[in-house]
Structure 1
Amino acid sequence: MTLAPPTTADRATPWHGHASADELAHWSAIAREVADALAVDVVERDRGNLLPVAPVQLLRESGLANLLVPAALGGAGAHWETAFAVTRIIARVDASIAQILGYSWLNQACAVFYGADTATTDAWLRRSAEANWVWSDSFNPVSPDLSLVADGAGYRLTGRKAFATGAAVADVVIAGAVAEGGERDGQFLVFAVETTREGVRHVGDWDNIGYRASASGGIQYTDVRIEADDLVGVDLGEPFSTVVTPGVQLLFGNVYLGIAEGALAQAREITRARRNSWFLSGVERYADDPVTHRVFGELVARTAAVEALADRLNRTYDVAVARGFDTTEADRAELEVAVAALKVVSTEVGLEVANRVFEVTGASSTTTATGLDLHWRNIRTHSLHDPVDYKRIEVGAHFLNGTVQPVSLYT
């Protein structure tokens, strides 16, 4: 495998500038169309723990799969601010599909973050656009490391990773492992393979209370052949390559916010449709009860505050990725801590909203057919992805002492 050591001089980021109002409006409208289509059977798909084959095909057909690929390479040439706004809109209805879409963009972007050179990066992005790929990954750091053993001119990949969200319905999956033998011995190689390649097996062991339509089961590799053409790059631990992780955390913040907004929207419909009122309220409708107003007012105000922070950070992420390989450790740390703050408040508010809307919608809203519980089950499940208490510590330690947590796939 011949893969030249990457240098700043021969690599460039394809992302520059900010989203225009027209760009945001155009793709937000498409996202709403996708969300409306998903809403038709979201409860049934969740209850059945079904693989989201049709929803993922909808993402391809809508043009969202290649939203962030430059226009010159066949994509839409949009910005990360737009991408995060799109995931938030879709998460209002179906957080599972919003997560798959966000992960697809971030894993596709590994061709930039880890790319060996501009030519290699452009080749991957062009291939993705031409084939309309949806991407997944198997980078879960708490699973055992994968084995990548030299075999002739290539390697053989073996091992299992848990929580490969979307892999069972995606086209390609990103993975990484330390090369054992060969000319890249000891280097951490990042590569992408088709999810249907021989030796790749989707375990199908996802059966949790939430995110049930996210295809988040494990993935098993058994002597999977890895060729030179599969290589994306080498992870050298540069500050820019690690900017992908704050992007993942920023995705989470937007999805949690979308869940809160979706729960509020559905609760508003239910409350306005409720007949009669509580006998002590002195009003004729639940929608006119001051207690109802107070609960909604509190939840709407807190959600609006999270929205303001998320909007600012979504735009900031475009600034961060535009720096490319000129990104410094200080740049990366500043972004990390800011996104951690969003993770804290979006988790807290999302959980509170998805729980407390039942106080104003009443016992009848707990029926299975209503599906209001889907919002709470989704955020309760996914907010355990990495402990939010450590995000609080991260923000507090930096505020007091300027401390920055060690770079990882969680920070």
Structure 2
Amino acid sequence: MSTTTTPFVRTPWRGHADQSELDRWLPVAETVRERLAAGALERDRASARPAAELDVLREAGLDGLLVPIEFGGHGAHWETAFAITRILARADASVAQILGYHYLNQACITFYCPSGEQQADWYRRTSEGRWFWSDSFNPVSPDLSVVAEGENYRLNGLKRFATGASVADKIITGGIAQGGWHDGQLLIFAVDGQREGVEHLDDWDHLGQRASASGSVRYSNVLITPDDVIGVDLEEPFSTVVTPGVQLLFGNVYLGIAEGALAQAKELTLARKNAWFLSTVDRYSDDPFVHRVFGELVSRTAAVEALADKLGRRFDTAAALGADTTAADRAELEIAIAQLKVVSTEVGLDVASRVFEVTGASSTSSANGLDIYWRNLRTHSLHDPVDYKKSEVGANYLTGAVAPISLYT
């Protein structure tokens, strides 16, 4: 890697969301949630590409939520963005994941662009084009080949689990450049989703998150021009803040899934007639044993929500540091978000499973689709083993140790 003494990047993010911002955008998210809920189960069962759903997000203005106002966006904050993805996950975790990835991949403009002028150009173009962003940066797939061809590069290789790539306008990816101006550097660039040589394999066939367009992308001699380059990974702390951001997104999606499962379970329980034959009440909704289960699950979910809200606000503080971010700042943020990842995973899985205890045998009907919450959370929570998050938190608490930076930590 080359080094530089030039400040890496300025950050356009400042301050925190005020109540007026939240009052503006959270109702918008609720309206979008209602629209997504209408077809979420059918999209899941069809493993459909959610192209039309991205248009719904565009109509609501959610695509440009975090883009600075001076570049054509809404200039909102990360706290608001994470809250929106949580709300959408209550109805459609697949679309919520794609939207969260959009925010974090679009933010690579800030995390990796070497100058304010380049940031401004990228943000203006994404705003004018209403671009949706995804990535193909899965670290467990083989590295991509990026070989110089004059002032350009040619991209080849395969990346699996490229969530949202088949419906995105831009795909963030990269690799170690071989030759050319960036020889030996980890080059970060944005590829047009439908550029010649970009093939979406549609091979995502898993238990959950079935409408997340998480199939593989094959690159065959794809042209990468200087205009596609976002920047170079200089291994400085600020750019790596994007990974805790991804983990914070996951925690909010898991929380939203749990909240969605509870909401549907409440609806089904209130609709149940009669009561268990040994009960002393007339309806299931009046049974103290049903109350006990709901009380436990709702309380634990509320605790996760409080932590997620706190960390959403803290992420805005971290994002505002920009090039002043230190390794210690980054480590503290990572550990705090890892704690959310642990509890959101375990509480979410418990909620999505135990709601069946209070909704009864009839709730297992395929028509209800109550299983979608557990399937989505169980599938996505295996993205990276939660035991390793527990280990990160425990080691840091005991000895101050910090896990090596990766695309999972």
TM-score, normalised relative to structure 2: 0.98
1:183 to 178, 181, 184: 181
Q: For 2:211 and 2:128, how far apart are their aligned partners in 1? A: 27
Q: How many residues align?
A: 408
Q: Deviations over 1:224-257 (max 9, x none)?
A: 0000000000001110000000000000000000
- Give the aligned residue type for 1:188: L
- Give the aligned residue type for 1:70: P
Check conservation: 1:144, 1:160, Cα contact below 8 A: yes
Comparing 313-322 and 361-370, the one that deviates more: 361-370
Q: For 1:130 and 1:382, how far apart are their aligned partners in 2? A: 33
1:265 maps to 263
Check conservation: 2:156, 2:222, Cα contact below 8 A: yes
1:158 to 156, 159, 180: 156
Q: Give the deviation of 1:330 after TM superposition.
A: 0.2
- Give the aligned residue type for 2:257: I
1:93 maps to 91
Q: For 1:111 and 1:6, how far apart are their aligned partners in 2? A: 19
2:61 maps to 63
Q: Give the deviation of 1:9 after TM superposition.
A: 3.6
Check conservation: 1:68, 1:105, Cα contact below 8 A: yes
2:131 maps to 133
Check conservation: 2:9, 2:111, Cα contact below 8 A: no
Sequence identity percentage: 65
Q: For 2:181 and 2:227, how far apart are their aligned partners in 1? A: 15
- Give the aligned residue type for 2:63: A
Check conservation: 1:5, 1:116, Cα contact below 8 A: no
Check conservation: 2:86, 2:255, Cα contact below 8 A: yes
Unpaired segments ≥5 residues, structure 1? none
1:121 maps to 119
Unpaired segments ≥5 residues, structure 2? none
Q: For 2:363 and 2:326, how far apart are their aligned partners in 1? A: 50
Q: For 1:213 and 1:323, how far apart are their aligned partners in 2? A: 36
Check conservation: 2:190, 2:229, Cα contact below 8 A: yes
Which residues of 2 match residues 2-401 of structure 1 at below 5 A?
9=7, 11-401=9-399
Q: Give the deviation of 1:183 after TM superposition.
A: 2.1
Check conservation: 1:8, 1:325, Cα contact below 8 A: no
State the superposition RMSD in angstroms: 1.0
Deviating above 4 A after TM superposition, structure 1's stretches of 4 or more consecutive aligned residues are 4-8
- Give the aligned residue type for 1:19: A
Q: For 2:14 and 2:167, how far apart are their aligned partners in 1? A: 31
Q: Deviations over 1:30-53 (max 9, x none)?
A: 111111001111111111111111
TM-score, normalised relative to structure 1: 0.98
Q: For 1:304 and 1:229, how far apart are their aligned partners in 2? A: 46
Q: For 2:291 and 2:200, how far apart are their aligned partners in 1? A: 47
Q: For 1:7 and 1:120, how far apart are their aligned partners in 2? A: 18
Check conservation: 1:114, 1:234, Cα contact below 8 A: yes
Q: Deviations over 1:146-196 (max 9, x none)?
A: 000011110000000000000001111000100001121100000001101
Check conservation: 2:9, 2:112, Cα contact below 8 A: no
SS in 2 for 1:156: strand
SS in 1 for 2:189: strand
Comparing 122-131 and 387-396, the one that deviates more: 122-131
SS in 1 for 2:298: helix
- Give the aligned residue type for 1:337: I
SS in 1 for 2:181: coil
Query: In the superposition, relative to structure 1, how do residues 193 and 5 fare at CA in structure 2: closer, same or farther (>3 Å)?
Result: farther
SS in 1 for 2:230: strand
